Chain A
Amino acid sequence: MPSAWLSTHLRAARPRVLAALNRVFGDIDLAEDAFQDASLRAIRSWTPDRLPDDPVAWLIVAGRNCGIDTMRKRRRETLTAPEDLEPAFDGVHPEATLSEALDHSVYRDDILRLLFTCCHPVLRRDQQIALALKVVAGLTVEEIARAFLVQPKTMEQRITRAKKRLQAARLPYEEPDAAGRTERLSAVANAIYLIFNEGYSASQGPELIRGSLCEEAIRLARLIVRLFPEEPELRGLLALCLIQHSREKARIAADGSAVTLDLQDRTLWNRTLIAEGNVLLEAALRAARPGPLQIEAAIAATHSRAATYADTDWEELDRLFRALEHVRPSPVVALNRAVVLSKLKGPAEALDRLERLAGPLDRYAGYHMARASFLADLGRREEARRAYEQALVFAGTDVERTHIRSKMSEPVST
């Protein structure tokens, strides 16, 4: 087997193995080290003809033994190793026993615990994203640093601080009840969506899309949907990511500039992703437990169904944004409603709605862009120009700035 395939096996097994090791050791650092050691053992002993039947179980056993060795070494310096650190699996093919013992429900709880720990509310959002990518997805510190355009050292510190914060918080090790589980799943879903969004509309730097972040987010979303298919918000999350990601090729012009939804070549949309997203959403909605991610997915799906921008079902979008405003009110959602309103009732009414959002959105480029476009539609050119200039001030990426400048030079529509 070429070593590339081996590393793919390790990458695929990582979330489940690390989750189990985290349960065994109750310590993410030790679990990560143990996984690393187990991976080295795998590289030495796995061959194309001798891949274990269950690589995940093999790695858990190996990682457990490696971790126990590490703990013994640490303790030998202070006290003798307690009996309860003896490895429980000493058979010839220990993973066979473990493989059967590790049924679906154990994986579910382990992975949820690991993900929730990485996305814990005591952590800042950027810490949640960094930790989830490092620990669960297995990206290197360098890769994460590159995705966020910071120095590897900065990212290393961010991750170290996040781990310290988790230790300081002394999270209780407990099985969540139904409400607690829903809360955890919701925190995890939000963190995965943050990762996707960071890739989808990179908030800083020269590139608009950082595809690898979108793909890692989709991989995590697929994993968690596989484990919790009965949770409609998770299917909503995956549907949302897939439908947004379907536009990847249409969103960037050949010269690297951004193409907005109204101007995208819809034949470039990935229909396979759209189909999967739509059917996931339909399956999610059957549960009749709507949530913000399902509504956002429905919004994305409504766009995906329109053959051209002119065919967009604005009435449906208005209903969906109203629903979203109800379950998760935010100034950005209100801004989006105003844009939909401009299509239904014209720019004057939309502008009126928008002006009321000035306070919370004053430092948000999208707000000034929408305002500028309504003003331009109303023929108020000078005010539109000033609004575009405000948008330029708050734009985070070069792509965004180029886009605003091109809008500024457009002739005013009448």
Chain B
Amino acid sequence: MLFSVLIYASEDFIDALSPEEYASIMQKHGAFHEHTKANRSFAAATKLMSTGTSVTINREKDDFVVTDGPFAETKEQFMGFYLLDCANLEEAIEAAKILPLDHGRIEIRPVAFFEGADFKNAERLVINAS
């Protein structure tokens, strides 16, 4: 089953990290990549740009309204996610423990449907939860 591993952190905190601290966080992500690629559970990794780049699309009557910024102001922001193909929830939890957990939060949420594309070959990859 596919699981999403959702990462939340405070952007104020991420911006305040020293280069060494940032490197030590990335090291844990590196270890996570290594572990999940070795046991072939790794499916995808996505790191998002800062919420400063966000726009939000709403519908007002018959018009689309694009507002600047994320849809909600929150103390912690959604930073990115992994997709893991694991036998069960327990395996996903074990893998997520490798990630940096001292700062921010990590949520594991099973995937109901997934469709991906190989950008270069335009081949589709479809996975339904079952």
Contacts and interface: CB of A to CB of B under 8 A. Distances in A.
Say if A and B assemble together. yes
A12 B102 contact: no
20 contacts: A4-B20, A8-B13, A8-B17, A8-B18, A9-B13, A9-B16, A16-B12, A54-B75, A226-B50, A226-B51, A229-B52, A229-B54, A229-B68, A230-B67, A235-B68, A275-B49, A276-B53, A280-B53, A283-B53, A286-B66
Nearest to B51: A226
A5 interface: yes
B52 A235 contact: yes
B52 A226 contact: yes
A56 B18 CA distance: 19
B51 to A, nearest CB: 6
Contact of B21 (A4, A15, A54): A4
A12 B69 contact: no
Contacts of B66: 286
B28 to A, nearest CB: 13
Nearest to A1: B102
Q: Which 6 A-B pairs have the closest CB atoms?
A: A229-B69, A12-B16, A225-B52, A104-B73, A229-B68, A12-B13
A290 to B, nearest CB: 15
Contacts of B20: 4
Nearest to A104: B73
A49 B75 CA distance: 19
Nearest to A211: B19
Interface string B53-78: 11100000000001111100101000
A11 interface: yes
Interface of B: 10-13, 15-18, 20-21, 49-55, 66-70, 73, 75, 102-103
Interface in A281-311: 283, 286-287
Given A5-B103, A8-B16, 4 more contacts: A12-B13, A12-B15, A226-B12, A229-B69
Interface residues of A, number: 31
Interface in A363-402: none
Most buried by B among A4, A103, A275: A4
Interface string A253-286: 0000000000000000000000110011001001
A286 B56 CA distance: 13
Interface of A: 1, 4-5, 8-9, 11-13, 15-16, 48, 54, 56, 103-104, 219, 222-223, 225-226, 229-230, 235, 238, 275-276, 279-280, 283, 286-287
Given A1-B102, A229-B68, A230-B67, A11 B16 contact: yes
Contacts of A238: 52
A341 B75 CA distance: 49
A26 to B, nearest CB: 24
A228 B66 CA distance: 15
Nearest to A16: B12
Contacts of B69: 226, 229-230
A54 B10 CA distance: 10
Contacts of B103: 5
A5 B102 contact: yes
A275 B16 CA distance: 21
A230 B68 contact: yes
Contacts of B70: 229
A19 B70 CA distance: 23
A12 B76 CA distance: 13
A279 B49 contact: yes
Given A229-B68, A283-B68, A222 B73 contact: no
